[in-house]
Chains A and B, each alone.
Chain A
Amino acid sequence: DTEVTQTPKHLVMGMTNKKSLKCEQHMGHRAMYWYKQKAKKPPELMFVYSYEKLSINESVPSRFSPECPNSSLLNLHLHALQPEDSALYLCASSQDRAGAGYGYTFGSGTRLTVV
């Protein structure tokens, strides 16, 4: 079992739908991350929340919108996605912004399919 919990595990959505991915950690970590991973590719960083402040990867389209209600929760709101957005979405957390060598702990991911 992972200490970073992601829901749902699988999601199929149409291009006009609005949905949200949820991530929760109870390790007291102060930095949380969203990654996107396509098949046979490495994870790509989308967003970073460190001490509840957002750092944006400017290449991420605005149809992805992160939200950090508190230091334990991180949501990713999805709207008007395209089929090419289908991927495994991974949430991760770390003890601090720099990771301090502890690495990132990943959740089990949400497999998203856009139809």
Chain B
Amino acid sequence: QKEVEQNSGPLSVPEGAIASLNCTYSDRGSQSFFWYRQYSGKSPELIMSIYSNGDKEDGRFTAQLNKASQYVSLLIRDSQPSDSATYLCAALGGATNKLIFGTGTLLAVQP
């Protein structure tokens, strides 16, 4: 079982819609979770972090964490074509205490 799992996509949504990205993790000791956005050929950019169960909102982005279900999600409201990128979920802590990435979900926002 992979430590951090995501659907590879592509996830296609129309402009203005809500994009919902999901992630599960296997190490119950993981404490912190992150969403990175990566444009093709560029480096990952941190967009959200979450450590406590529940929701965390920042502008158009909402991260959700459910530690009992080992589930993390990212909602992007009012999606824009510029949001088209690969979104990497990452977990930190647990047995390895290293930042472990999922395989990423490719999001395509259609104008």
B43 near A99: Cβ-Cβ < 8 Å: no
CB distance from B37 to the nearest CB of A (A): 11
- Chain B residues contacting A108 (CB-CB under 8 Å) are 42-43
B44 near A43: Cβ-Cβ < 8 Å: yes
Q: CB-defined interface of B30-55 with A at 8 Å, one 1/0 digit per residue? A: 01101010000111111001010000
Question: Is B25 among interface residues, defined by CB-CB distance under 8 A?
Answer: no
The size class of the interface chain A forms with chain B is 20 to 34
Question: Is A71 among interface residues, defined by CB-CB distance under 8 A?
Answer: no
- Chain A residues contacting B104 (CB-CB under 8 Å) are 42
A90's partner among B43, B49, B97 (CB-CB below 8 A) is B43
Interface size for B (C-beta < 8 A) is 24
Interface residues of B in 13-67 (CB under 8 A from A): 31-32, 34, 36, 41-46, 49, 51
B103 near A103: Cβ-Cβ < 8 Å: no
Q: How far is the CA of A84 from the CA of B4 in the complex (A)?
A: 25
B43's partner among A41, A45, A106 (CB-CB below 8 A) is A106
Mark B residues whose CB is within 8 Å of A. 31-32, 34, 36, 41-46, 49, 51, 88, 90, 92-93, 97-104
Q: List 17 A-B contacts (CB under 8 A).
A: A2-B43, A43-B44, A43-B101, A45-B99, A45-B100, A88-B41, A90-B44, A99-B92, A99-B93, A103-B32, A103-B34, A103-B99, A106-B43, A106-B46, A107-B43, A108-B43, A109-B43
